[in-house]
Structure 1
Amino acid sequence: MEYKETKETLKASNTKPPLFKSIIALYLWIGMIQFNILVLVVVAAFFLPIRIGASILALLVLLRLIPINPKSKFGSKVARFISKNAYGYFPITVHLEDEKAFDPDQAYVFGYEPHTIFALGAWALTDRAGITPLPKIKFMASSLAFNIPVLRHIWTWLGCVPVTRKSFIKHLAAGTSCITVPGGVQETIYLERDSEVAFLNSRKGFIKLAIEMGSPLVPVFCFGQSQAYKWWKPNKTILKKVYDAIKYPLVLYWGRFGSPIPFRVPMHIVIGKPIQFKKNPQPTYDEVNELHAQYVAAMQELFEKNKAKYGSKDLQLKLL
């Protein structure tokens, strides 16, 4: 998919990719989760003869052990195919409050909200997508994804890295900006149908890392993402217990025709101005809290200032 720049908006061209290509791209991108867990594992374990089921499970383990080459030519082709056909499916539009505020030689920490079922819009900000003016940007995703066969290769090719402290420091030190979703998958526990939820009040680790590395903090909000899936979840108390046990909330979700393919809804990602501060390898408790408060306030302002503009005038943002 080609991208064009207008004043302070970077967006997809008006030409939509063929639907069948979009579906293939979306399935490779996010459908592999269900394919591995629901189809292969469940079917192999409970519905196939023991020998065949064991062979399938052994194959999954083998695929899990195959090393990942982030610079693979084949991987680059897969990533280009997904970027061209998946992001244009919605489509996704990126709006910069102030493009001139960004230095291409500077590494930034992008705090993206909301997570909802999947942080679909965040992927469009990576260097693989080529929309933003920054040449090197990685998306910090749940480490759990890098244990899922095939998916781990695809997400790596798409510019995704595990959300660990070591990975964060490594990429920021190399001049690569990092996109993180502070609320993470835990946000899905608190999903509401009539409001956006950002689980931010206790999430300060990324703030501390930003100060340690001297990487300006950037608030980012995606409008429209919450409409990409329908969902059902059990009682919040039960959901919390499940999350505490397996570190993943069991929320049932579905898209078009009950499949993992999301509904075709336009998304608008608004990137705020970078919050500048003084680098400190050993930030104090007060420094972290002060920058966290600035970030939360900037996120609220970004949401309120843009919600009517991008079709969400009656929506409320709840900070938890």
Structure 2
Amino acid sequence: MRQREAAAAQCCSRFHPEREGPLRRRGVHERVCKVWGEAESSGLPGNTEERQTAERRVRDRLPEDASARLVSLRGLRCSVCGMKLRLAPLNVPLERRLQTAAALQWVFSFLVLAQVCLSAFMLLLLSDWWILAVLYAAWLWLDGDTPTSGGRRSDWMRSWRVWEFFRDYFPLRLLKTVDLDPKKNYIFGFHPHGLVSSSKSSLSHLLSRPGGGNVAVIALGGAAESLEARPGALKLQILNRKGFIKLALKHGAQLVPVFSFGENELFDQMENPSGSPLRRLQNRLQSIMGVALPLFHARGVFQYSFGLMPYRKPINTVVGEPIPLVRNPSPSSEDIEGLHQTYLQSLTHLFEQNKEKYGLDEHQHLTFI
């Protein structure tokens, strides 16, 4: 009994406070630690049938979301504490496998698809089929304005099941607070952080379309805010971001604050406090290339200990109320500053009104930098 209690105490002592969440609040973490202590003190090897039978019995005693976090085959470990390699269970339903595959294709597309396509283009250019590469390059040159003039919408591609599996991987939910007038244009200010970029010309083209019903989504934090993105982070780079205010006034597009609760919980990031050598290097590379290089990590495909796959954390994206404004083709500095302060107040209100619904504590607040 003492050995079992000692093992459970060791597990609890290594619990990371920054990863407290639903498991901790519901007391599931303590139950996982207790089970881990029982397994460690049983003396059964991890690769025996008896140990696996004991593990199955343990899973039956835990809630589904906790039992899925226990490591199979090599002894039980508490995934919250991060002890040893946490392998994914073998008996995962097919639907969850497909969700993981959908998330994997997104990670591949985001990180290496461009490099793969460039390499394929160069190999084609140096082969006997070089004429195909030349024709493709000519088409890119002739078609260069398409991405900034609306692109090519494909309802067929939008209907692919892969996007539904990707949505359900986390899962993702989009929640509106009010109905929007389809006869008007809108600029959605998306928070937190920004790994998505957009050009001013493409936004202007979208907001200039007659008839309304268009929405331009801008990740306002930009590259700098992505370097602050980590679980629990609530710092928003917005005090000096006023270009979107001027754009809204010039086109008469209403501003809508949007906050995505859980967005920063998807990845961990290497510690890079302001002034550290790593942060200075990242800032330098950002000034040269125009994009940030956050060193993020999370889980893998077949294990939960490390990798570049995002964590399965729920994301609740809440769309706030639109801020009414009057079109002003030549806004003054006072006009821009006044609307900027109104936007900050509206964003703060949206966050404070919804934070406790989605797992944040009352004392947690946004910090604008």
Normalised to the residue count of structure 2, the TM-score between the two structures is 0.60
Task: Work out which of the two has the higher radius of gyration on C-alpha atoms and give 1 or 2.
Answer: 2
Q: Which has the higher strand share?
A: 1
Cα deviation, 1:56-88, whole Å, max 9, x if unaligned, reads xx9999978666772446xx3366333211112
Q: Within 5 Å, which residues of 2 pair with 1:65-144?
A: 70-72=152-154, 76-77=156-157, 80-99=160-179, 102-115=180-193, 118=195, 141-142=196-197
Q: How many residues align?
A: 250
Cα deviation, 1:173-203, whole Å, max 9, x if unaligned, reads 2132111111112212233554312110111
> Which residue number in structure 2 is paired with residue 288 of structure 1?
336
Rounded to whole Å, the distance in 2 between the matches of 1:177 and 1:88 is 24
Partner-residue secondary structure (3-state), 1:190: coil
**Cα contact 1:233–1:250 (8 A) shared by 2:** no
Shift of the alpha carbon at 1:275? 0.3
Partner-residue secondary structure (3-state), 1:297: helix
> Which residue number in structure 2 is paired with residue 130 of structure 1?
none
> Which residue number in structure 1 is paired with residue 100 of structure 2?
23
Choose which of 198, 223, 231 in structure 1 pairs with 2:269: 231
**Cα contact 1:195–1:318 (8 A) shared by 2:** no
Partner-residue secondary structure (3-state), 2:239: coil
Q: Which amino acid aligns with 2:169?
A: Y
Rounded to whole Å, the distance in 2 between the matches of 1:192 and 1:225 is 9
Shift of the alpha carbon at 1:216? 0.6
> Which residue number in structure 2 is paired with residue 218 of structure 1?
256
- 2:205 pairs with 1:170: yes
> Which residue number in structure 1 is paired with residue 325 of structure 2?
277
Q: Which amino acid aligns with 1:177?
A: V
- After superposing the two structures, state which structure 1 stretch, 265-274 or 19-28, moved more: 19-28
With over 3 angstroms needed to count, the CA separation of the structure-2 counterparts of 1:288 and 1:103, relative to structure 1, is same
> Which residue number in structure 2 is paired with residue 319 of structure 1?
368
Normalised to the residue count of structure 1, the TM-score between the two structures is 0.68
Shift of the alpha carbon at 1:219? 0.5
Cα deviation, 1:189-240, whole Å, max 9, x if unaligned, reads 2335543121101111111111111111000101111111122154322221
Q: Which amino acid aligns with 1:70?
A: R
With over 3 angstroms needed to count, the CA separation of the structure-2 counterparts of 1:204 and 1:22, relative to structure 1, is same
Partner-residue secondary structure (3-state), 1:109: strand
> Which residue number in structure 1 is paired with residue 54 of structure 2?
none
> Which residue number in structure 2 is paired with residue 264 of structure 1?
312
Rounded to whole Å, the distance in 2 between the matches of 1:274 and 1:255 is 35
Partner-residue secondary structure (3-state), 2:108: helix
With over 3 angstroms needed to count, the CA separation of the structure-2 counterparts of 1:53 and 1:281, relative to structure 1, is closer
Q: Which amino acid aligns with 2:312?
A: R
Rounded to whole Å, the distance in 1 between the matches of 2:243 and 2:325 is 16
Paired-residue identity, %: 27
Q: Point out where structure 1 has 5 or more consecutive residues left out of the alignment.
A: 1-15, 45-49, 119-140, 143-162
Partner-residue secondary structure (3-state), 2:227: helix
Partner-residue secondary structure (3-state), 2:260: strand
- After superposing the two structures, state which structure 1 stretch, 104-113 or 248-257, moved more: 248-257
**Cα contact 1:110–1:180 (8 A) shared by 2:** yes
> Which residue number in structure 1 is paired with residue 283 of structure 2?
240
- After superposing the two structures, state which structure 1 stretch, 188-197 or 215-224, moved more: 188-197
Cα deviation, 1:123-148, whole Å, max 9, x if unaligned, reads xxxxxxxxxxxxxxxxxx42xxxxxx
Q: Point out where structure 2 has 5 or more consecutive residues left out of the alignment.
A: 1-92, 273-277, 301-305
**Cα contact 1:194–1:316 (8 A) shared by 2:** no
Partner-residue secondary structure (3-state), 1:169: helix
Rounded to whole Å, the distance in 1 between the matches of 2:101 and 2:171 is 16
With over 3 angstroms needed to count, the CA separation of the structure-2 counterparts of 1:198 and 1:295, relative to structure 1, is same
Rounded to whole Å, the distance in 2 between the matches of 1:165 and 1:51 is 34
Rounded to whole Å, the distance in 1 between the matches of 2:125 and 2:175 is 48
Shift of the alpha carbon at 1:316? 3.4
With over 3 angstroms needed to count, the CA separation of the structure-2 counterparts of 1:71 and 1:276, relative to structure 1, is closer
Shift of the alpha carbon at 1:38? 7.3
Q: Which amino acid aligns with 1:289?
A: E
Q: Which amino acid aligns with 2:113?
A: N
> Which residue number in structure 2 is paired with residue 8 of structure 1?
none
Rounded to whole Å, the distance in 1 between the matches of 2:308 and 2:133 is 21
Shift of the alpha carbon at 1:242? 1.5
**Cα contact 1:212–1:279 (8 A) shared by 2:** yes
Superposition RMSD on alpha carbons, in Å? 3.2
Rounded to whole Å, the distance in 2 between the matches of 1:60 and 1:261 is 33
Shift of the alpha carbon at 1:103? 0.4
With over 3 angstroms needed to count, the CA separation of the structure-2 counterparts of 1:52 and 1:282, relative to structure 1, is closer
**Cα contact 2:103–2:166 (8 A) shared by 1:** yes
Partner-residue secondary structure (3-state), 1:111: strand
With over 3 angstroms needed to count, the CA separation of the structure-2 counterparts of 1:236 and 1:279, relative to structure 1, is same
List structure 1 runs of 4+ shifted beyond 6 angstroms.
37-41, 50-55, 58-65
Rounded to whole Å, the distance in 2 between the matches of 1:292 and 1:51 is 50
**Cα contact 1:242–1:249 (8 A) shared by 2:** yes
Q: Which amino acid aligns with 2:207?
A: L
